[in-house]
Chain A
Amino acid sequence: MSAVATRTLLELDDVSVEYALRDRVVRAVDGVSLSLAPGETLGIAGESGSGKSTLANAILQILKPPAQLAGGRVLFEGRDLAAMKPDELRRFRWRHVSLVFQSAMDVLNPVMRVGDQFVDMLKAHEKVKKADALQRAGDLFELVGIDRNRVRAYPHQLSGGMRQRVVIAMALALRPELIVLDEPTTALDVVVQREILQELQQLKDELGFAVIFITHDLSLLVEFSERIAIMYAGEVIELASGETLFRDPRHPYTVGLMRSFPPLTGPLERIAGIPGSPPDMAAPPSGCRFNPRCPHCDPTDARLYARQTDERPRLREIAPGHLVACHLVEERP
């Protein structure tokens, strides 16, 4: 793997996150291991409830109770975030990893001017005068294509696209090494969506930060990510370059995902989708979590069926840089 040769920026080592509810424990992220090189773009895709956003919160250690890190380590440049002291962790956030949240509409404090929310953040990390901080906010606004006078606006005076740009400007402000984009454009219309992503790509090329791009829109990922991790029921079930995944998806779930959006070129096919719905995470199916929905899971091959329903498939490298967790792929390569 090429990541071995280069420096590792972020490493998730067997990360699990649990929601401790009153009567049961729900494991939303279960043993996820991923690594990211500086400047790399890693896409994470999966259905709603597959644990993508929870994973994003775990990376910044901002899990809110009842969610908590139940196991594994999050290493940033080799440092274990869970071992940091609260104030150290506070200063780490945003300085090294920033997060563009899912809901641009709701992440800005409605009763504060957006400029002041900038100032707040800058002041938390460095000694800076308010006027200088506002100046920098203005510069960043221009960088993401907003009039610099908008620092005086309140969130409700901005359109959805502008608000998302404000959030992106904030995410860039401290020049972090990693920006986590958690469905950054779901609330926006398709045109604005594309504009913003292209601008982000440009900024990334200029500034060289790494990106973790979380979305359920696989078509966006294939376009913008170098590697893509597919998550299902809290686990990574396939990991490969965007190109490989697009050309040769191996996990039946990935195959289903790929079929569930229409091709941009070529003849229109009937969109197949994936029958069934994601499992109840309080009581996930035994064996492969995808087995109840898997088209290749049938009792005729009794031995394989037993493995599929009893044994958890492990993520294995089937080709350089292409990892799949599937019994079927293991037995019939």
Chain B
Amino acid sequence: MRWFLRRLLFYVFALWVAVSLNFLLPRLMPGDPVGGVLAHLSPAQIQSNPGIVQTYRDLLGGGKGSLGSEYVKYLGHVATFDFGISTSNYPSKVTEVIGRTLPYSIALVGVAFLLAFVLGIAIGMVAAWRRGGIVDNFVVPAMMSLGAFPAFFTSLVAVYFLGLKAGWFPIQHAYDSAVTPGFNWTFISSAVRHAELPVLIIMFVYAGGWVLNMRTVMINTIAEDYVAMAHAKGLSDTRVMTRYAGRNAILPPLNGFAAQFATAVGGLVFIEFVFSYPGAGLTLQQAALGADYPLTQALLLVFAVTVIVANFIMDIANFVLDPRVRTG
């Protein structure tokens, strides 16, 4: 329990640092961010949203108050999720824009990365267990070369052959344009169908790294005495591989997984671009190019929080999987 509180305290601190950096960054930018933002709105748009200028000033700087009082106002906005209007998506609020893109990113990246991890771990485990066997000699190099191509290239090739030529997969958007998003079967099945190819691509592009990672750790684990002991005890080969060698070898890659997952939520622009997938990465890119500072600021904060949350989840996973952490 004390371990848990200590970690929690650390993450609260990390969150505070992220929020504060997000406050400082636009204020350190040369020029006048608020002026730049307002330039994207027509006078009529500004008129019809009273208080919007003040909101932008609180969030991005350029107000008359001291840094301290601005910080307090900024925190107030962040706490109420009030990031103003997204200029590039007028009249949508920043939170609305994020709300309709982020869930797709998290779901897509979440599922795809989890599958990539499971696939990579399984292949790496078997490859190390039977070194020089079929999996080690053929599957591992195949996965490696898949991962070695630039990801956008792999995606384009897959879209062209599997989507356009073969017609097996839909090639763009997150769901069929005829369905309206909602919690119903038509929408969910359409969303799943549209996610299939992106998920497959991400899975095969990223699994190679886990294969190598797991294989290396696993080779070292196999040399451990408790693996020899497990053999001597008369356990079956599969049981030794999974329960003794694999179970222990998975811990280091698992820690890398959190970091990769967190950065990918905001970083899979290539896949979103190729598939016109309405994800957070593409949204950030467009916001940044369109000088939509309110949206950019909010997205950066969201990505920072994702990193923190992912790490926290990984800490808990470690806590559950490794008894040494609990007392250590």
Contact = CB atoms under 8 A, between A and B. Distances in A.
Interface of A: 57, 60, 62, 64, 86, 90-95, 98-99, 101-103, 106-113, 120-121, 124-125, 154, 156-157, 167, 170
Contact of B234 (A92, A103, A111, A157): A92
Contact of B248 (A107, A109, A170): A109
A111 B321 contact: yes
B225 to A, nearest CB: 4
B224 A106 contact: yes
B230 interface: yes
Interface string B229-240: 111111111010
B323 interface: yes
B228 interface: yes
B327 A107 contact: no
A314 to B, nearest CB: 32
9 contacts: A90-B234, A90-B235, A93-B231, A99-B232, A109-B226, A109-B243, A120-B243, A154-B324, A157-B327
Interface of B: 223-226, 228-237, 239, 243-244, 247-248, 251, 321-324, 327
A57 B226 CA distance: 14
Contacts of A92: 234
Given A111-B321, A121-B233, A156-B327, A62 B248 contact: no
A109 B232 contact: no
Given A62-B231, A101-B225, A106-B226, A111 B248 contact: yes
A317 B223 CA distance: 40
A110 B323 contact: yes
Q: Is the interface of B mostly helix, strand, loop or mixed?
A: helix
Contacts of A157: 327
Given A106-B225, A120-B239, A120-B243, A111 B232 contact: no
Nearest to A94: B234
A170 B235 CA distance: 13
A121 B228 contact: no
B229 A110 contact: no
Contact of B236 (A99, A102, A107, A124): A124
Contact of B232 (A98, A102, A106): A98
Most buried by B among A64, A109, A170: A109
A13 B205 CA distance: 54
A156 B326 CA distance: 11
B230 A109 contact: yes
A93 B248 contact: no
Given A106-B226, A111-B247, A120-B243, A94 B233 contact: yes
Nearest to A57: B228
Contacts of A103: 225
Q: Which 3 A-B pairs have the closest CB atoms?
A: A106-B225, A93-B234, A107-B229
A107 B225 contact: yes
A124 B233 contact: yes
Contacts of B239: 120, 124
A120 B324 contact: no
A95 B244 CA distance: 20
Given A111-B323, A156-B324, A64 B234 contact: no
Contact of A110 (B226, B228, B231, B235): B226
A180 to B, nearest CB: 9
Nearest to A96: B234
Contacts of A121: 233-235
Contacts of A106: 224-226
Contact of B233 (A86, A154, A170): A170
Contacts of A101: 225, 228-229, 232
Contacts of B251: 111
A235 B197 CA distance: 63
Contacts of B237: 86, 90
A118 B237 CA distance: 17
Given A101-B232, A111-B247, A121-B233, 15 more contacts: A90-B235, A94-B233, A106-B226, A108-B226, A111-B322, A113-B323, A120-B230, A120-B233, A120-B239, A121-B234, A124-B236, A124-B239, A125-B234, A154-B324, A157-B327
Given A106-B225, A109-B244, A120-B239, A93 B324 contact: no
Contacts of A170: 233
Contacts of A108: 226, 229
Contact of A93 (B223, B224, B233): B233
A157 B226 CA distance: 16
B133 to A, nearest CB: 12
B85 to A, nearest CB: 51
Give the residue among B223, B229, B239, B327 with the most A Cβ atoms within 10 A.
B229
Contacts of B229: 99, 101, 107-108, 167
A66 B113 CA distance: 36
A276 to B, nearest CB: 30
B323 A154 contact: yes
A109 B228 CA distance: 11
Contacts of B244: 109
Nearest to B229: A107
Contacts of B248: 109-111
Given A101-B228, A103-B225, A110 B233 contact: no
Contacts of B323: 110-111, 113, 154, 156
